[in-house]
Amino acid sequence: TGVLLQVLMIHFLACTSLTSVTIPETVESIGDSAFSTCSSLTSITIPESVTTMGGYMFYLCSSLSTIVIPKNV
C-alpha cells in the first residue's frame, strides 16, 4: 500500500505455531508483550530501524535461543 509500518503493535501473544520472526526494516518500535508465551519461537531478528522495544516481549518464550538486537536499542 506504500504506507510505512512505524510501530509493530500486532501481538502474537500465545502463538504456539510461530517458530521464527524477521522484523521488516520499516518497523521502528515493538510494543509490550509482542511475542509473550510463544513457546515454539526459536529465533528473532530485529533490524537497525527499531529504536524502542516494550517490556515482556519474550516472556515465557521457553524455546528462544537466538535474538539479534541492534546496538541502538
Cell readout for 2 is: 506504500
Residue 72: what pLDDT?
81
Res 14 pLDDT > 90: no
* Dist. CA 66–CA 19, nearest whole Å: 11
The pTM of the full predicted model, rounded to 2 decimals, is: 0.81
**pLDDT tens readout for residues 16-72:** 899 999 988 888 888 888 888 999 999 999 999 998 898 998 999 999 999 999 888
* Dist. CA 5–CA 1, nearest whole Å: 10
Strands (E), 1-73: 7-8, 20-22, 29-30, 43-45, 52-53, 66-68
Q: Which among 10, 14, 4 has a CA at the least distance from the CA of 59?
A: 14
